[in-house]
Structure 1
Amino acid sequence: MRDPHEPGCDVFLTGTVFLDIIFTGLDSAPVRGTESWARGMGSSPGGVANMAAALARLGLRTSLAAAFGDDHYGEYCWDALEQGEGIDLSMSRRIPGWHSPVTVSMAYEGERTMVSHGHEAPLPAGPGRFPQCPPRTRAAVASLGPGGGEEWIAQAARQGSRVFADVGWDESGRWDLGALADLEHCEAFLPNAGEAMRYTRTDCPRAAARALAEKVPVAVVTMGADGSCAVDGRTGETAEVPGITVDALDPTGAGDVFVAGFVTGTLAGWPLADRLAFAGLTAALSVQEFGGSLSAPGWPEVSHWWRAAPADLRDRYAFLDTLVPPGAPPGPRRRAVPTIGFRPTF
């Protein structure tokens, strides 16, 4: 679907890269004063890397601007993203003496609890560098927060990028939609149901989507295992797709994978319902693996799922027939492992 006159990069995003250490197989939440043993563990790049890897694995040429420490954690994350996933890190930078942020995530009872540590990265010096000058791309992904807005988002929109945004939890408790200044630059806004209902003062996700569609061209509300719903405020089109039941191992990064799937379908020009279905499918496939970034599926995994899809889902996902490569076996994927690397053997 690419036009030769369009930018050479499909998607740009920025944020903080964490080293994620994920514990799974916990029977319950850790109890104070005791030691808990996890049956599974994985390590992988996290934070904004979850979204970047999900986009790249779906075939989008992805550019990431982030700070990386010059420690072993930072080196591992840089190599995993650039060499392992083919992500363009030319807008990123290594910072001497700055240690990489770390998140420990514990998955249990279908939820997760996280503990993070890190320090703000020093701002880049000199004019003409990000965040003042984001590259020209077909799309950009942003995480919104209350405040005066980020200039790079407005600049990306002025350059023709289609901006997709999610949002984090409002620690202030005000949930003021008007405080999300960058929403005016966005083509699509994709909060979860809890966030959407708080921002719109509504009592159900569908009502929240309708209210948000008055503020942004396309409003998508994710509803976890119940699926997602969306309203296109420009055309009045609505869509709702139920979730796919899977044996979930770790929900880390599922929301990021959903956004990546929706961006992919939007850039390809698919109908709204197909975009929701594809985004939900990719998110469902991701929770069956450890971690966030390295759990994201690519087209081989989508193809493998489609060949064995349950009969009751064949009609809803029939659009995959023209998209997945016929008979292609799943290719090898890097997955999260308990450590960040082994010494080579000679």
Structure 2
Amino acid sequence: MSASNGKGPAPVTAGPECQAQVDPLAQLRTPDDPPWDVYLTGPVFLDIIFTGLDSAPVRGTESWARGMGSSPGGVANMATALARLGLRTSLAAAFGDDHYGEYCWDALEQGEGIDLSTSRKVPGWHSSVTVSMAYEGERTMVSHGHEPPPETLFSLGGAPRARAAVASLTPGGRAPWIAQAAHHGTRIFADVGWDETGAWDLAGLPDLEHCEAFLPNAEEAMRYTGAASARAAAHALTEHVPLAVVTLGAEGAYAVDRRTGETAEVPAIAVEALDPTGAGDVFVAGFVTGTLADWPLADRLAFAGLTAALSVQEFGGSLSAPGWAEIAAWWRRVQSVEGQDPAALRRYAFLERLIPQGEAARPWPRRRAVPTIGFRSA
């Protein structure tokens, strides 16, 4: 099954008021639920994305990009992806008190409906910035920033009550809020970055013991377990965490649930990739959504892969995170294309009961507004 980004019309606005109001947890909600579906914390960056570069910038020359966008980045990529999928999302982060910080705060709170009650604006501290240059399906990034004052990190406090939390594990370190949240019944989903120490020792990820699910990529999984294949690595990881999900790049994803003995593998959707920034965050957000909604393991993998595939067809991190309108447009589009593999269509048939009927007439592909600081569409 495939879908191509292709050439499309000029961007149109697509704020929360334009998004389908889908609550994937509607059938599960009770008056005793925690106030939030997902909590997360981490650094927020202002992302400035240049696109339309024919090649990588060359030293000593000036390159002109045909497109540019700005959006909150860093942990905001994950928070935005979760919120656009209909999860009640709470983010704890430090924001600079400059114009960049004000822009990011407003974009997340007002634009995406993300709760920032546990976040802080830090006087005299400037926002971290990342410049991303997308070309040839890849990107190069340059970042600048400073650690927020230690007292600010302390003032962020513990995690609020939430069904789930997403954590990025740091080799050799602990984040006290993870154990605290798990103790209060929050389900922890974790990913991990590249181990710069080169140790690749699971003992160096002490917070893994509090996690329900661990979602590394294939290279990370094999290095941590010493397994010869990503699938073998997934099985080995279940000795340390109940649910292991390993992303396989162009091959899709593979998951093992130790508690049920269930395994699942879903191939990737072939798309024309414009910019992979934030695709991993979107994958995790899709998987968390399906897990909290109690979908079968294979449906969760398929949904996570679909949301990630849709995200790489647009540029930027939080800019490209799909909502239900984009998911609906894709589903209607692939159903209308002749020659689709019937088995592949059946793999995504679960979407039919989730997509609002009014979304059927939306065009494909849909384009998001590209916000620029100091300028807003009406």
Return the TM-score normalized by structure 2: 0.87
Residue 253 of structure 2 is matched in structure 1 by 228
Q: Give the distance between the partners of 2:152 and 2:131, measured in 1 at CA.
A: 31
Instruction: Give the paired residue count.
Output: 342
Q: Give the distance between the partners of 2:246 and 2:291, measured in 1 at CA.
A: 16
| Alpha-carbon shift at residue 190 of structure 1 (Å) | 0.5
| Alpha-carbon shift at residue 72 of structure 1 (Å) | 0.6
Which of 183, 189, 204 pairs up with 2:229?
204
Q: Give the distance between the partners of 1:111 and 1:45, measured in 2 at CA.
A: 20
- Measured on the aligned residues, the alpha-carbon RMSD in Å equals 1.9
Residue 72 of structure 2 is matched in structure 1 by 45
Residue 209 of structure 2 is matched in structure 1 by 184
Structure 2 matches for 1:116-155, cutoff 5 A? 116-124=143-151, 129-131=155-157, 133-155=158-180
Q: Give the distance between the partners of 2:369 and 2:195, measured in 1 at CA.
A: 32
| Alpha-carbon shift at residue 300 of structure 1 (Å) | 1.2
Cα deviation code 1:257-280 (max 9, x no counterpart): 000000000000001010000000
Which of 33, 37, 41 pairs up with 1:6?
33
Residue 156 of structure 1 is matched in structure 2 by 181
Asked if 1 retains the 8 angstrom alpha-carbon contact of 2:189 and 2:213, the reply is: yes
Structure 2 matches for 1:59-70, cutoff 5 A? 59-70=86-97
| Alpha-carbon shift at residue 344 of structure 1 (Å) | 9.1
- Where do 5+ consecutive residues of structure 1 fail to align? none
Asked if 2 retains the 8 angstrom alpha-carbon contact of 1:187 and 1:216, the reply is: yes
Residue 168 of structure 1 is matched in structure 2 by 193
Residue 375 of structure 2 is matched in structure 1 by 342
Asked if 1 retains the 8 angstrom alpha-carbon contact of 2:287 and 2:303, the reply is: yes
Cα 1:144–1:335 change in 2 (3 A) is farther
Cα deviation code 1:117-152 (max 9, x no counterpart): 00001133698x433x21010000000011241110
Residue 316 of structure 1 is matched in structure 2 by 347
Asked if 1 retains the 8 angstrom alpha-carbon contact of 2:225 and 2:237, the reply is: yes
Q: Give the distance between the partners of 1:343 and 1:108, measured in 2 at CA.
A: 26
Structure 1 residues 81-90 or 227-236, which shifts more?
A: 227-236
Q: Give the distance between the partners of 2:245 and 2:290, measured in 1 at CA.
A: 13
Cα 1:125–1:319 change in 2 (3 A) is closer
Q: Give the distance between the partners of 1:85 and 1:25, measured in 2 at CA.
A: 27
Which of 86, 91, 105 pairs up with 1:78?
105
Which of 356, 359, 371 pairs up with 1:325?
356
Which fold has the larger relative contact order, with Cα–Cα distance below 8 Å and residues 6 or more apart in sequence?
Answer: 2
Asked if 1 retains the 8 angstrom alpha-carbon contact of 2:230 and 2:246, the reply is: yes
Cα 1:82–1:125 change in 2 (3 A) is closer
Q: Give the distance between the partners of 1:148 and 1:314, measured in 2 at CA.
A: 43
Q: Give the distance between the partners of 1:246 and 1:106, measured in 2 at CA.
A: 20
Asked if 2 retains the 8 angstrom alpha-carbon contact of 1:290 and 1:335, the reply is: no
Q: Give the distance between the partners of 1:261 and 1:244, measured in 2 at CA.
A: 14
The amino acid across from 1:31 in the alignment is: V
Question: What percent identity do the matched residue pairs reach?
Answer: 76
Asked if 2 retains the 8 angstrom alpha-carbon contact of 1:197 and 1:204, the reply is: yes
Cα deviation code 1:147-199 (max 9, x no counterpart): 24111000000011000000011111111111001000000000111111111
Cα 1:245–1:101 change in 2 (3 A) is same
Asked if 2 retains the 8 angstrom alpha-carbon contact of 1:255 and 1:283, the reply is: yes
Cα 1:146–1:289 change in 2 (3 A) is same
| Alpha-carbon shift at residue 108 of structure 1 (Å) | 1.9
Which of 314, 332, 336 pairs up with 1:307?
332
Q: Give the distance between the partners of 1:167 and 1:220, measured in 2 at CA.
A: 12
Structure 1 residues 191-200 or 320-329, which shifts more?
A: 320-329
Q: Give the distance between the partners of 1:344 and 1:229, measured in 2 at CA.
A: 41
The amino acid across from 1:212 in the alignment is: L
Structure 2 matches for 1:92-107, cutoff 5 A? 92-107=119-134
Return the TM-score normalized by structure 1: 0.94
Q: Give the distance between the partners of 2:235 and 2:333, measured in 1 at CA.
A: 35
Asked if 2 retains the 8 angstrom alpha-carbon contact of 1:291 and 1:336, the reply is: no
- Where do 5+ consecutive residues of structure 2 fail to align? 1-27
Asked if 2 retains the 8 angstrom alpha-carbon contact of 1:206 and 1:229, the reply is: yes
Q: Give the distance between the partners of 1:101 and 1:137, measured in 2 at CA.
A: 28
